[in-house]
Amino acid sequence: MSIPAQPTAAAMPVVEVAAPIDPILEIKNLHTYFFTERGIVRAVNGVDLRLGRQSTLGIVGESGCGKSVMSMSVMRLIKEPPGKIVQGEILLHHKGGEPPVDLAKLDPKGARMRAIRGAEIAMIFQEPMTSLNPLYTVGRQIAETVELHQKVGRAEAMERALTMLERVQISEPKRRLHNYPHQLSGGMRQRVMIAMALSCNPDILIADEPTTALDVTVQAQILDLMRALKEDFNSSIMLITHNLGVVSQMADHVAVMYLGKVVEYAGTRKIFHNPLHPYTQGLLTSVPVLGKKKGLLVPIRGMVPPASARIQGCPFADRCPHVMKVCREEMPQLREIQPGQMAACWLY
């Protein structure tokens, strides 16, 4: 992939951003901080995102960029204290013209948020063994989710659990229903997590690194499964990953995060074929391409600064090959640079 020449500000005018059609989730100016003895950790520091209905949004970036904290903020699973949503809105839109619900204003432990969590927004966590209870069978754990949100009896909930295990293509689902998590392989446990997340037909599925601990063959199976179930359930997916290959297969749009901020947003094809932000360009040039024999991989120099650091100007300035004086003095805002493609960079 060739890196495009950097246009001047005069050659690339800034235009107003058009809102996407029919969003199901909008994140506006979200700030999630952790108040520690060593200072304030600004894990999410002004994120704006929109997830469209029945679409997949990929969230990418290095470790420590705030991807998982952002998703946990949407689910209202940030432990308080030390964490806290200090500013911003998380708007969940319903069908039929009902006013959106601001999840950021709900009590994380209240009945309204507990009803939304699981029934309207569900999450697949990175490591199933830390999310599944080792003392209960997988069937019982799926059934409990159904009982809680669907208000049905135990027998009907177990039937639903069996149906979901069949839908996620687990071998011998009737037997697996009575297995404990430790009796299943990593791929099977991830399928159980997907079955549990989709057991109540949620509108939004948040998948946090769903294939990280799996071998490549199982990864492909899980991605195919998620793609098929998204179509079956008419769900929207927020896919959080550092794997650009996964994003290229799954996502309709991509948001690139760096140090708690979105630095580029566009359709998947535009991100991969015409990346604008130097950080996005760096991520792509540091990934091996099958069949490419010439040229070495170019890693991004330096490390992600700690989220507790107070940075004036662009947070990527110290690592950027195109850094200018203004980059160290003022923070660039996320703007639409080309139709459907936004970037936060002074080059434009």
CB 335 within 8 A of CB 17: yes
Q: What pTM was estimated for this model as a whole?
A: 0.84
Q: If we measure between CA atoms, which residue out of 56, 61, 51, 25 comes closest to residue 268? A: 56
**Both ends of the chain: CA-CA distance in Å?**
21
From 52, 47, 39, 103, select the one nearest 77 (Cα to Cα).
103
Domain map (residue ranges) of the chain: 23-109+242-288+298-343
- DSSP-derived secondary structure for 195-246: HHHHTT--SEEEEESTTTTS-HHHHHHHHHHHHHHHHHHT-EEEEE-S-HHH
Query: What span, in angstroms and rounded, lies between the C-alpha atoms of 191 and 164?
Result: 10
Q: Which pLDDT tens digits describe the chain residue by residue (348 residues)? A: 434 443 333 333 333 344 445 889 999 999 999 998 888 999 999 999 999 998 999 999 988 889 999 999 999 999 988 999 999 999 999 876 788 999 999 999 999 999 898 888 998 887 777 788 899 999 999 998 888 887 888 899 999 999 989 888 888 999 999 999 999 888 888 888 888 888 888 899 999 888 776 777 777 888 888 888 888 888 899 999 888 888 988 899 999 999 999 999 999 999 999 999 999 999 988 776 665 555 566 778 888 888 888 888 999 999 999 999 999 999 999 999 999 999 999 998
Fold exhibited by the domain 23-109+242-288+298-343: Rossmann fold (3.40.50)
Angle in degrees, CA 68, 195, 69, rounded to 5: 10
The C-alpha atoms of residue 228 and residue 301 are separated, in whole angstroms, by 39
